[in-house]
Amino acid sequence: MLAIARQRMLGQSFKKILPAVSVLRSYSSAAKQITVREALNSALDEEMSADPKVFLMGEEVGEYQGAYKITKGLLEKYGPERVLDTPITEAGFTGIGVGAAYYGLKPVVEFMTFNFSMQAIDHIINSAAKSNYMSAGQISVPIVFRGPNGAAAGVGAQHSQCYAAWYASCPGLKVLSPYNSEDARGLLKAAIRDPDPVVFLENELLYGESFPVSDEVLDSSFCLPIGKAKIEREGKDVTITAFSKMVGYALKAAEMLEKDGIYAEVINLRSIRPLDRSTINTSVRKTNRLITVEEGFPQHGVGAEICASVVEESFSYLDAPVERIAGADVPMPYAANLERMAVPQVEDIVRAAKRACYRSVPLAATA
Amino acid sequence: MVLGRAFEDKCAKMYYDRKMLGFVHLYNGQEAVSTGFIRLLKQQDSIVCTYRDHVQALSKGVSARAVMSELLGKATGCSRGQGGSMHIFSRKHNMLGRFAFIGEGIPIATGAAFTSKYKREVLKEADCGHVSLAFFGDGTCNNGQFYECLNMAALWKLPIVFVVENNLWAIGMSHLRATSVPQIYKKGPAFGMPGVHVDGMDVLKVREVAKEAIGRARRGEGPTLVECETYRFRGHSLADPDKLRDPAEKAHYAARDPITALKKYLIENSLANEADLKAIDKR
């Protein structure tokens, strides 16, 4: 009882201090806004400039300026030997990238969407991920596989799958998924500098979104650690984990929940493998409730892994069953109204959080 | 070649004695291809093969002891027992590994060739005339990655030689039953590179062709496709009962055993005598 009162007082005083701090911060670093696209482009540019062994390959990355314009301007700046337009041969060019990485070059291979990575998945897993182990450390593979992942808008079943869970289950790979511009810059730089194969899952719908970034983020040496999640919003009643686009949804849900007196703590995973189990468990031990959110298929998903981790490490702290919000267990439909039902929406997250907090909620339109 | 044959025979014995586990694929009969090509390479040149290549590793300089230890799963093996028979790697000898999936190694070898060119042209490093060799079989030549890499290697003029060890059989599938145009060397010109056919049971003929192809690559003239007609004396793997191959066919190729043939050649041309050859066998 007293503990709760103390928490509430601390929470309120925290809120009083925060506005002042953020005002000071904005004066000293005039928070600039950049899109995720600009963040990725600048990260690639800076890393290519710093290390001549970094090169790009993929379909349309050069003369077309990138299928989603992420590699805009890089062909003109670095030339066709470092920005390679490939034929449409994912298996072939991914293998070539891995072979080049065996020899110490640092390829950044773009998949137009990660759905096409399935044509090359043998090389990602068998040639890249497993080689360091199979060769007992003799071969290391400093390669980055990047591209848009997950659902876009009305692109149908073969262009909408989320690959986070599949890649993250494989030892030997690192799997990252940025949300905002700071994430995009910091994580892509970390991925390029990393000596191991990294799968970098972007989101097409986030490319055009702007986020404020500090001067520190804009500096060319900026880098985020791999394997660390970020607490985007602090709270005390329920923990919500998410990655990529769903972080935005979780934050909106948290705002709505606050009006009903539920203070949600939103964790931006950033790194799917290695998963920041420590941050997640610490948060759950504080809030006692957990909602996991992801866009991908529910079975064997990221949320399932997080739930298992929490059950293994923090079972006695849970006051309610873990809820996982995921995409519908169906290939992505095309029609806009069906698509909306197949992907988590903000309302789904709000409802789940309320259920976890024992509030009565109306039944969802979809099961 | 003799070391290779003796090594493989020893493997067979250990496997049947149940000292070796898993998948083991032996090279008996194909030694001429390995020796013919790999002995022409420098240490920095790289090779990529499939699972049938203990002997390629030996030809490239990996010690027989390290390979055998690896096959027995020991920590002294070249991959500390973590790779096994199908995954022999050696950084030092630039043996980039053996890949279990056919066709997998071809893009990797193409990538190594790409790196050689990149280092020379972009990083401006000196002494980068390194060449890559990709070894694979007839079965692989029906796989998409093979064609994808023939295209890109020719397109970007990469220093690579694609070596097909056509032993006519992909496990139990005859090459003729699986391929619309069985002359594999003809597929090279379709992509803009020379396609050469050679008798893979004759090490000296292989060496001549290899010299030309490796030379081309080193001079920056681009890739070559070499088809070596060869034969494996044993089954696909030690677990293969090998019932589908006609005994007459096996006898025909056994008569063309590369080791016996070379021995005969050396003696006929007075390059060595019986005693010298017996000494090599002993070692």
CATH of range B1-282; options 3.40.50.970, 3.40.50.20, 2.70.98.70, 3.40.50.1820: 3.40.50.970
What is residue A239's predicted lDDT score, i.e. its pLDDT? Answer: 97
Please state the rounded mean pLDDT for residues B55-78.
Answer: 80
Residue A23: which pLDDT band, with cuts at 50, 70 and 90? very low
Q: Which of residues 198-237 of B touch A (CB under 8 A)?
A: none
- Pick from B44, B132, B147, B152 the residue to mutate for testing the A interface (most A CBs within 10 Å): B152
Is any Cβ of chain B less than 8 angstroms from the Cβ of A282? no
Q: Cβ A135–B79 below 8 Å, yes or no?
A: yes
Question: pLDDT at position B283, please?
Answer: 62
Going by pLDDT thresholds of 50, 70 and 90, the confidence category of residue B62 is: confident
Task: State yes or no: is A90 an active-site residue.
Answer: yes
Residue A367 has pLDDT above 50, yes or no: no
Given A159, A234, A258, A347, which residue is catalytic? A159
Query: Is the model more confident about B255 or about A156?
Result: A156
Confidence of residue B239 (pLDDT cuts 50, 70, 90): confident
Q: Which of B86, B108, B116, B119 to mutate to test the interface with A (most CBs of A within 10 A)?
A: B108
Quote the pLDDT of residue A21.
Answer: 41
Instruction: Give the 3-state secondary structure of chain A.
Output: CHHHHHHHHHHHHHHHHHHHHHHHHHHHHCCEEEEHHHHHHHHHHHHHHHCCCEEEEECCCCCCCCCCCCCCCHHHHHCCCCEEECCCCHHHHHHHHHHHHHCCCEEEEECCCHHHHHHCHHHHHHHHHCHHHHCCCCCCCCCEEEEECCCCCCCCHHHCCCCHHHHHCCCCCEEECCCCHHHHHHHHHHHHHCCCCEEEEECHHHCCCEEEECHHHHCCCCCCCCCCCEEEECCCCEEEEECCHHHHHHHHHHHHHHHCCCCEEEEECCEEECCCHHHHHHHHHHHCCEEEECCCCCCCCHHHHHHHHHHHHHHHHCCCCCEEECCCCCCCCCCHHHHHHHCCCHHHHHHHHHHHCCCCCCCCCCC
pLDDT band with cut points at 50, 70 and 90 for residue B273: low
By mean pLDDT, which of A68-77, A201-210, A351-360, B185-194 is the weakest? Answer: A351-360
Are the C-beta atoms of residues B166 and B138 closer than 8 Å to each other? yes
- Tell me how close the Cα of A132 comes to any Cα of chain B, in angstroms: 10
Using 50, 70 and 90 to split pLDDT, how confident is the model at A176? Answer: very high
Q: What is the pLDDT of residue A20?
A: 42
**pLDDT higher than 60, residue A11:** no
**Lookup: tokens for B155:** 């397109």
**Which tens digits make up the pLDDT trace of A179-195?**
999 999 999 999 999 99
Mutate to test the interface with B, among A51, A102, A133 (most CBs of B within 10 A): A102
Answer yes or no: is pLDDT of B98 > 90.
no
Looking at the complex, report in whole angstroms how far the Cα of residue A265 sits from the nearest Cα belonging to chain B.
43
Average pLDDT over residues B130-159: 93
Q: Binning pLDDT at 50, 70 and 90, where does residue A227 land?
A: very high
A135 with B121: Cβ contact below 8 A: no
* DSSP string over B141-155: GGSHHHHHHHHHHHH
The average pLDDT across B241-255 equals 79
Confidence of residue A19 (pLDDT cuts 50, 70, 90): very low
pTM: 0.84
What are the residue ranges spanned by the domains of chain B? 1-282
pLDDT band at A238 (very low <50, low <70, confident <90, very high): very high
Please identify among residues 102-131 of chain A the ones whose CB lies closer than 8 Å to any CB of chain B: 102-105, 122-123, 126-127, 131
Q: How confident is the model at residue B195 (pLDDT cuts 50, 70, 90)?
A: very high
Among residues of chain B, what percentage have pLDDT more than 70? Answer: 93
Given a cut of 70, whether residue A313 has pLDDT beyond it is yes
Mind listing the pLDDT tens digit for each residue in B72-97? 777 777 777 777 777 777 888 888 77
Q: Over 60: is that where the pLDDT of B48 sits? A: yes
Q: Provide ipTM, 2 decimals.
A: 0.78
Which residue in A46, A59, A90, A339 is the catalytic one? A90
- Is B58 a residue whose pLDDT tops 90? no
**Does the structure show a pLDDT above 90 at B124?**
no
At B178, the amino acid letter reads A
How confident is the model over A274-290, as pLDDT tens digits?
Answer: 999 999 999 999 999 99
In this prediction, residue B132 carries a pLDDT of: 94
Q: What is the pLDDT of residue A35?
A: 97
Quick check: A103 and B115 CB within 8 A? yes
- Residue A365 is predicted with a pLDDT of 52
Looking at chain B from residue 12 to 51, which residues have their Cβ under 8 Å from any Cβ of chain A? 46, 48
* Annotation says A295 is catalytic: no
- Would you say residue A361 has pLDDT above 80? no
pLDDT given for residue A17 in this prediction: 42
What's chain B's average pLDDT? 84
**pLDDT score for B235:** 78
